[in-house]
Chain A
Amino acid sequence: MKFKEISLKGKYIIDAKIELLTGLHVGTAGNSLDIGGVDNPVIKDAMGKPYIPGSSLKGKLRSLMEFYNNKLVPNQVVYTVEPKNDDKENKERAKSGIRMHLCNDENCEVCNLFGRNHGNHKVIINNNGDTDDLNLEDVIQPTRLIVRDASLDESSITKEMQDNMDFDYTEVKFENNLDRITSAANPRQTERVPAGAKFNCSFVINVYNDDNDTYLKEFLTALKLLEDDYLGGQGSRGYGQVKFKDIVIRFRDDNYYKQGQEDKKMYEYKELSEVKF
């Protein structure tokens, strides 16, 4: 493996609050039964507090940027999970796998910000889902973006909200799946964190070589896209609308790490609409 010469110029540290505009459901792996006995529980930490895993936040941001930058095209999409169906002629085959963008373009803003996975990849080369081998060794770099788990700001759940909820931090919704012909209802339970709750989130962007603020800008675009989309489950049915608030961006370089100086507060925004580069 040959790393290109990389020098770390510093780190952007981005802290912000995520405010829920509608209820949020980030589920657990598998459909396990919660201690509380809810059918479809949200993911919680060891103390029983809901949180947003950094990995799901990062995955969502990446996927939005893939669309936004037109990266989901043949020769730039790989399988992260191979399709089940081994019928090579089957045009629907591609859909049974899990796909993401990954490429060897050293200027790719998505791969450079969100990272490239090591290993051998199968890249999809046409609309029939045919694949070829893809080797990324020449372009592998340490990932720039690190997304921390976002913890619940307990004070955002008011006493009034709590009095009206099933649990300390969450409520259980019964949503009807309407039968298209009979309109008979099949109630289904979903646990969610209510609108109004806030999470503390934190991101790090490593700045290499002549990056300057290139990837910071890309990152802020991704946050804006997330506000226009949704986070977590059942987003197409109303859940997971979020807004970023109180965004503070600091820069830490050698002076901070080696000289013990304070980091520089570079930017401060009440909300993303104030961001103008």
Chain B
Amino acid sequence: MNFKIYDAEIKILSPTTVTSGFDIGNFEVVFENNKIHVIDIMKMIKENKKAVGLIETFDFYNNKADFTRSLKECGIDYRKYIKYSIDAQNISYNRSSKVKEIIKTAGRPYIPGSSIKGALRSSLSRALNEESRYIESLNKKINEKKDYEAKHYGKKMDILKICDDIAEKELFKDSYYSPFRLLKIADTDTKEYEDLSISEIKILNICNDKVKWFKWGGNQDNINMGVSIHTETFKIGTKLNSRFSMGFIDYYKNNDIEQIETDCVLDFAEKIRKDMNDYIKCELDFYKKYGLEEIIKFYNNLLGMKLKENEFIIQLGFSTGYKPKSVIKNLDDDFIGKLINAGAKNIKGMFPKTRRLAVYNNKPTYPIGWIKVTLKERV
């Protein structure tokens, strides 16, 4: 029987990261000569007596304290204790900022198969055009909330989990029948530190139809005043290798016992191309309205790419925001309000007016997480 398998080359089109969930503390970081140097603090303490004293007295909880300067004042050469260094050009970095770590395996960065799959899954779910069915059923569930909680002696209905479960149920009955079970995506190979750069990300917020930049305590007009998030990202142009497999999908396609609607994952590249095209056009409308020139240019370039049958582009990973991950194209404020009333607090502020953008020289330059996938079928 046929075994369907593709080698997949992933090319980074804009700074991309799947974060590990850990932050590199500001005390481990030295920013110098357009590079971020991550220091092996344990090694430094072991090998340098002066360091022990400094570590004991230095106020790591004070964001304004300058560790790099203190190192120099103590005559400690941090360069002897560098764990690794990463390019950090054309960004601003101050001592108070932690750096979000990219996910690594045994110390080397990669992109997990689960993240690639998550992006494909959302796109292919949207391509099903079953949105109204999903929303209807979600609506019904939310209306049952009171009854549910009365019946379960006040136990709260977990609305976010229900959103997720209903998406699965409405689209594929339950996870056993989900055709995504048949789409297997391998972790990519690992890359070197040279393939990484530090990205500075700012949060664009539209308030009263004006561009603002997020800051705790109040949005700012001036981008320089907005909060920066620093994160390790793959550089533009980096190539990674993965493997997409649909295995014995022909068996499921033709087999009545299994009853899996395989159509959803067949011709996935073509479906994703179309979905992403629609998505980018929406994004372009958004950015044109607010005149973000560099971003418009980037998206115009994406639209202009001549993608072959075996290619598609997609957005994944950290900071890509709500839209690329949702199975719903258009959620209106009314419905969002309902979700929030039903207890889905986390979604406040996540909806359509926020974007996270990579910033160079204080100019919003890239939406992050765009990759191009090229598939080669193995025979």
A residues with CB within 8 A of B? 21-23, 67-70, 72, 74, 91, 94-95, 124, 127, 129, 160-161, 163-165, 171, 173-176, 178-184, 187, 194-196, 225, 228-230, 234-239, 241
Contacts and interface: CB of A to CB of B under 8 A. Distances in A.
A178 B325 contact: yes
B243 interface: yes
B189 to A, nearest CB: 8
Interface stretch (B113-121, B142-150, B300-308): B113-121
B188 to A, nearest CB: 8
A229 B347 contact: no
A161 B107 CA distance: 7
B36 to A, nearest CB: 18
Contacts of A181: 160, 163-164, 167, 326-328, 339, 347
> Which of the listed residues B5, B116, B180, B247 has the most CB atoms from chain A within 10 Å of its own CB?
B247
Interface residues of B, number: 57
Contacts of A23: 105, 187
Contacts of B118: 178
Contacts of A225: 3
Contacts of A178: 118, 325
Contact of B247 (A21, A91, A229): A229
A68 B3 CA distance: 8
B350 A183 contact: yes
B105 A182 contact: no
Contacts of A67: 1, 247-248, 251
Contacts of A183: 321-322, 325-326, 350
Contacts of A238: 112-114, 116-117, 185-187
A228 B5 contact: yes
Contacts of A164: 104, 106-108
Name, among B21, B257, B327, the residue most crowded by chain A CB atoms within 10 Å (CB to CB): B257
B18 to A, nearest CB: 8
B181 interface: yes
B117 A182 contact: no
Contacts of A176: 21, 114
A184 B346 contact: yes
A22 B186 contact: yes
A143 B340 CA distance: 60
Given A180-B164, A180-B325, A236 B105 contact: no
The 5 A-B pairs of least Cβ separation, nearest first, read A238-B113, A164-B107, A237-B114, A183-B325, A238-B187
Nearest to B242: A238
A173 B22 CA distance: 11
Interface in B88-108: 103-108
A176 B182 CA distance: 20
A170 to B, nearest CB: 10
A248 to B, nearest CB: 26
A182 B350 contact: yes
Contacts of A174: 20-21
Contacts of A22: 113, 186-187
Interface string B237-267: 0000001010110010001110100000000
Nearest to A71: B1
B350 to A, nearest CB: 7
A186 B378 CA distance: 35
B73 to A, nearest CB: 30
A68 B106 CA distance: 35
Contact of A171 (B105, B161, B164, B189): B105
A236 B256 CA distance: 23
Contact of A161 (B106, B125, B328, B350): B106
Contact of B1 (A68, A171, A241): A68
Given A178-B118, A180-B163, A195 B105 contact: yes
A183 B316 CA distance: 12
B112 A196 contact: no
B248 A179 contact: no
